[in-house]
Amino acid sequence: MDLTLRVWRQAGPEVPGHFETHEMRDVSPDMSFLELFDTLNERLIAEGREPVAFDHDCREGICGSCSMMINGRPHGPERGTATCQLHLRKLPDGATITVEPWRAAGFPIIRDLVVDRSAFDRIIEAGGYITAPTGSAPDANEILIPKEVADAAMDAAACIGCGACVAACPNGAAQLFTAAKYAHLSLLPQGQPERWTRVVRMVREMERWFGSCTNHGECEAACPKEISIDFIALLNRDYVKAQLRNRALAGQRG
Amino acid sequence: MGTVDLDPKVPPGPLAEKWDHHRFSVKLVNPANRRRFTVIVVGSGLAGASAAATLGELGYRVELVTFHDSPRRAHSIAAQGGINAAKNYRNDGDSIQRLFYDTIKGGDYRSREANVYRLAQVSVEIIDQCVAQGVPFAREYGGLLDNRSFGGAQVSRTFYARGQTGQQLLLGAYQALARQITAGTVRLWNRTEMLDLVVHDGRAVGIIARDLVTGELRRFSGHAVVLATGGYGNVFFLSTNAKASNATAVWRAHRRGALFANPCFTQIHPTCIPASDEFQSKLTLMSESLRNDGRIWVPARIGDDRPPHEIPDDERDYFLERRYPAFGNLVPRDVASRAAKREVDAGRGVGPLRNGVYLDFSEAIARLGRSVIEERYGNLFQMYERITGEDPYTVPMRIYPAVHYTMGGLWVDYNLMSTVPGLYVLGEANFSDHGANRLGASALMQGLADGYFVLPATISDWLAPLLGEPTVPIDDPVFTATETAVSERIHRLLSVQGRRSVDHFHRELGRVLWDNCGMERSAESLDKALGEIPALREEFWADVRVLGGEEHFNQSLEKAGRVADFLEFAELLVRDARHREESCGGHFRVEYQTPDGEALRNDAEFAYVAAWEWAGEGAEPVLHREPLVFEAVQPTQRSYK
């Protein structure tokens, strides 16, 4: 098949960028989207031009490195699929494909299609953990967790931290990322003691870097792991409750 | 033959009590003094992240260096199936002794007993630790943890979180690490790649790393250096490893004096998606857990081109069930891989390139229902469908073996210290626990055992006597000299200005290795590779084209350095395979096999760890041996029949 690629090139954060057009002739539909970029880069190197920088690693849809805006959609047209798992057979033959980096104030550009997503790490560092120093754990089966609870926590924990939710959001908000981690930990019994401080710290850190959520729902549609926007409701509810809560009583139920 | 001079420092006493005794005998650092020690940890996968977090919790100052943009991206994240632990929650006869025995046997009697026993002991604590951190393992309806079985075992001891166990365990370790970053005990250096080890007076005192965004070289000085930088499977170019996984850190440490053990022990995983074309950039694993419910078969008749559903049962050959009735589809990886290769080589391969065998779920779906299969393997089926365009619920998967894991690595003693004092090596980067073949669901176990429990208990023995000694200043001549060497190498890579891309050489190297030192090896094929690799290396340094400069984000330059190291390391791998004139585990020499085609060990001559010493450019490496002494288990011919 044939494709025309319009690729964003930008030598560094302070340099203006531009689109570059490349005709990709006779490429196999079984090729993955990143292999298309491998092919392009081999060609550029052969022509003595610098290859396109892009983040990628596992190429199995789990590490969350890949991050391409494909025709205005994070990770492209296939639902629930990261860029690395997108194959050319899902694109129309002869199409022109525009590829850009994640566009969000919270993710500054490093080069070409590579952005800096360390703000996500700052949100986790602010409270996205359960305090359990090594060695202090009780026997694993002493903590009974109903299957439904474990499953729901796992649904949230499936987040790969790619940032598609932020890139899709008209406000550049990171609510879905933050809510997914918050829900994973706070649905579990182990996560209860720190629940109310966790929600306040994570939300405050998130707001330092990202825009505000206005319930567009674009994040859920863009998420390669199809994480539900319902978790944002949990995050918002708990954030409000935390402001009103007497933390000294937090260990009690109800 | 080489010399026998390696002391593994295995503690005395009965096997079951060694670890306890040892923890009592090591020197300790008192809590108030720990902040006076700096430990450099390289790598943020399961081993590195868990080690950094735990050392931080103990109060040491930790510098964590990772080339990833975030610690959470390390390739541990891609492990699918699960993690073993001798909990015996299923009441099916499991015990520490049995996990120990299965691991020794699975490794074809080429691992160190004391390390493996400790691994089995610690496995139990790992699960407790991970649950406490909030790892959402699969549960039964009563709220207890669920288990499944895995290759090489007859008990169900594998804990799992859907098909994303590695992801969940890594996130657990990453979150523990994040907590320490906030607490100020760990400093994170992301997008920073270690390019050399600094050795001063025979001790590891620091590293030189490159900031991948600005290109700046940084000097890190510490009282100890911990490498948790993963395996070298990407030396084959096509593997299930992530694209950036590389051997540079361990290879550079090797060149600075750390012995490299058993590099020829590479694992070829039986259940990967077959390669489809020449532009293929990597191979994708389908978790071994699929072999619990999938049945592996090929058409019994050579050249049978009918679609799978048209081939009646009596014209199929379920070759694993036929050859290994006791373990069936759950034989260890090396056995399953070779069996598949044998069928494909005989012309019974399936798929457009006839390079696969079927992994068929139709019977399991009929027995358990689609929803059960979907719950167990849904994400794997989806991944398969994305890559191949075929629906595994209705058409059997096609699978074929691919390079997946490397049992070899830097030699370490019982304390996980390499032959360079002060340099520790954890996880896949070391060689210690899996012998010549790793069992499924044991990589995660080992990475976390090393990071959470072993290193934090042993490192104090090294640090305690250094109390009051400052770290070597980063303007010391030894740092300057090492940095100069790194910088000169970068200039050299950029100045070749040849015609061929880095990937060209990497693919070529992978082809040489896969063809001559892959699933089967012979003296002839290995000699051929030993001729081809130096020639390819020479060509690389004469004709590689690395564009761009050094003072900015430059992925070609990163790749070039890694491939240059692979080109050196590959030769050692092949040399090790050539010297080991026996077959064991993943190392299969065609000259040494039983009449029915199984690996034939030679315990009289090769029951040792081969640890190689760098002897300089162009010089033959020196072989050192650590004899393997088996007290608790008597080596026998492995049988899974």
Q: Do A134 and B452 touch (CB under 8 A)?
A: yes
Q: Does A81 touch chain B (CB under 8 A)?
A: yes
Closest residue to A137, CB basis, from B70, B131, B138: B131
ipTM, 2 dp = 0.96
Report pLDDT for A253: 57
Which one has a higher pLDDT value, B279 or B578? Answer: B578
* Helix/strand number for chain B, H first, E second: 17, 19
In a domain, A131, yes or no: yes
Tokens of B550: 């050094």
Tokens of B242: 């992530």
**Distance between CA atoms of residues B135 and B173, nearest Å:** 10
Report pLDDT for B376: 83
**CA-nearest residue of chain A to B546?**
A45
Q: Do A59 and B281 touch (CB under 8 A)?
A: yes
Mean pLDDT across A166-173: 98
B129 contacts in chain A (CB < 8 Å): 132, 134-135, 137
Average pLDDT, chain B: 95
**Distance between CA atoms of residues B486 and B478, nearest Å:** 12
Same domain, A20 and A91: yes
Same domain, A17 and A71: yes
Q: Do A140 and B128 touch (CB under 8 A)?
A: yes
Q: Does A108 touch chain B (CB under 8 A)?
A: no
Q: What are phi and psi of B65, to 5 degrees?
A: -110, 125
Report pLDDT for A246: 64
**Distance between CA atoms of residues B451 and B472, nearest Å:** 25
Predicted confidence band of residue B281 (pLDDT cuts 50, 70, 90): confident
Q: Do A190 and B132 touch (CB under 8 A)?
A: yes
Same domain, A124 and A244: yes
Are B588 and B401 contacting, i.e. CB atoms less than 8 angstroms apart?
no
**Distance between CA atoms of residues B439 and B246, nearest Å:** 22
Report pLDDT for B149: 87
Domain boundaries, chain B: 269-403, 477-602
Q: Does B178 touch chain A (CB under 8 A)?
A: yes
Q: Do B553 and A125 touch (CB under 8 A)?
A: no
The topology under which CATH files domain B477-602 is Methane Monooxygenase Hydroxylase; Chain G, domain 1 (1.20.58)
**Distance between CA atoms of residues B197 and B248, nearest Å:** 10
Residues ≥6 apart with Cβ < 8 Å to B191: B66, B67, B68, B69, B211, B212, B213
Q: Do A146 and B143 touch (CB under 8 A)?
A: yes
Same domain, A58 and A172: no
Same domain, A19 and A73: yes
**Distance between CA atoms of residues B9 and A45, nearest Å:** 51
**Distance between CA atoms of residues B16 and B507, nearest Å:** 46
| DSSP secondary structure string for all residues of B534-596 | HHHHHHHHHHB---S-SSS--HHHHHHHHHHHHHHHHHHHHHHHHH--S-BTTB-BTTSB-TT
Mean pLDDT across B551-557: 97
Closest residue to A63, CB basis, from B77, B134, B387: B77
Are A63 and B78 contacting, i.e. CB atoms less than 8 angstroms apart?
yes
- Whether A250 shows a pLDDT value over 80: the answer reads no
A114 contacts in chain B (CB < 8 Å): 553
Report pLDDT for B597: 84
Predicted confidence band of residue A249 (pLDDT cuts 50, 70, 90): low
Residue range of the domain that includes A126: 117-249
β-strand B295-299 against B316-317: which pairing, if any?
antiparallel
Burial of B241 (0-12, 13-18, 19+ CB in 10 A): buried
3-class DSSP assignment, residue B333: helix
Tokens of B80: 């699918």
E strand map for B321-429: 357-360, 397-406, 409-410, 423-425
Same domain, A23 and A74: yes
Report pLDDT for B229: 98
Report pLDDT for A247: 63
Domain's final residue, options A75, A95, A111 = A111
- Whether A62 shows a pLDDT value over 60: the answer reads yes
Nearest chain B Cα distance for residue A225, angstroms? 10
Q: Count other Cβ atoms within 10 Å, centred on residue B485.
A: 14
Q: Does B551 touch chain A (CB under 8 A)?
A: no
Query: In 3D, which of B325, B289, B45, B19 has the Cα closest to residue B157?
Result: B289
Burial of B568 (0-12, 13-18, 19+ CB in 10 A): middle
Q: Do B125 and A87 touch (CB under 8 A)?
A: no
Count of structural domains, chain A: 2
Predicted confidence band of residue B467 (pLDDT cuts 50, 70, 90): very high
**CA-nearest residue of chain B to A182?**
B134
| DSSP secondary structure string for all residues of B250-281 | HHHHHHTT--EE-TT-EEEEEEEPPP-STT--
Mean pLDDT across A76-96: 96
Report pLDDT for A252: 63
**Distance between CA atoms of residues B296 and A96, nearest Å:** 42
- Whether B629 shows a pLDDT value over 70: the answer reads yes
Nearest chain A Cα distance for residue B199, angstroms? 31
Predicted confidence band of residue A248 (pLDDT cuts 50, 70, 90): low
Same domain, A43 and A124: no
Q: Does A198 touch chain B (CB under 8 A)?
A: no
Mean pLDDT across B460-486: 98
Report pLDDT for B1: 47
A153 contacts in chain B (CB < 8 Å): 134, 136
Q: The domain spanning residue A199 has which CATH number?
A: 1.10.1060.10
Report pLDDT for B2: 57
Residues ≥6 apart with Cβ < 8 Å to B439: B84, B102, B103, B106, B107, B150, B151, B152, B153, B332, B333
Residues ≥6 apart with Cβ < 8 Å to B628: B109, B110, B111, B112, B113, B607, B608, B609
Nearest chain B Cα distance for residue A43, angstroms? 10
Predicted confidence band of residue B275 (pLDDT cuts 50, 70, 90): confident
Q: Does B44 touch chain A (CB under 8 A)?
A: no
The architecture (CATH level 2) of B269-403 comes to Alpha-Beta Complex (3.90)
Nearest chain B Cα distance for residue A254, angstroms? 21
Amino acid (one-letter) located at B163: G
Domain's final residue, options A86, A111, A136 = A111
Same domain, A15 and A127: no
Mean pLDDT across A169-198: 97
- Whether B4 shows a pLDDT value over 70: the answer reads no
Q: Does B355 touch chain A (CB under 8 A)?
A: no
Q: The domain spanning residue A42 has which CATH number?
A: 3.10.20.30
Mean pLDDT across B82-86: 96
How is the beta sheet containing A73-74 ordered, strand by strand? Answer: A18-24, A3-9, A96-100, A69-70, A73-74
Across B78-82, B127-131, B189-193, B473-477, least confident range: B78-82
Same domain, A37 and A90: yes
**Distance between CA atoms of residues B119 and B123, nearest Å:** 6
Using one digit for the tens of pLDDT, what is the confidence trace for B341-399?
999 999 999 998 899 999 999 999 999 999 999 988 888 898 899 899 999 999 999 99
Using one digit for the tens of pLDDT, what is the confidence trace for B17-62?
999 999 999 999 999 999 999 999 999 999 999 999 999 999 999 9
Which one has a higher pLDDT value, B637 or B239? Answer: B239
Mean pLDDT across A213-237: 97
In a domain, A254, yes or no: no
CB pairs under 8 A between A and B: 213
Closest residue to A131, CB basis, from B164, B179, B501: B179
Same domain, A102 and A176: no
Are B257 and B250 contacting, i.e. CB atoms less than 8 angstroms apart?
no
- Whether A245 shows a pLDDT value over 80: the answer reads no
Under DSSP, the state recorded for B148 is B
Burial of B433 (0-12, 13-18, 19+ CB in 10 A): buried
A134 contacts in chain B (CB < 8 Å): 50, 53-54, 57, 129, 176, 452-453, 456
**CA-nearest residue of chain B to A79?**
B386
3-class DSSP assignment, residue B423: strand
- Whether A251 shows a pLDDT value over 80: the answer reads no
Residues ≥6 apart with Cβ < 8 Å to B286: B271, B272, B273, B359, B380, B383, B384, B397, B399
Report pLDDT for B280: 86
- Whether B100 shows a pLDDT value over 90: the answer reads yes
Amino acid (one-letter) located at B171: L
Using one digit for the tens of pLDDT, what is the confidence trace for B230-274?
999 999 999 999 999 999 999 999 999 999 999 999 999 999 999
Q: Does B190 touch chain A (CB under 8 A)?
A: yes
B57 contacts in chain A (CB < 8 Å): 133-134
Using one digit for the tens of pLDDT, what is the confidence trace for B498-528?
999 999 999 999 999 999 999 999 999 999 9
Tokens of A1: 């098949």
Domain's final residue, options A95, A111, A127 = A111
In a domain, A33, yes or no: yes
A231 contacts in chain B (CB < 8 Å): none
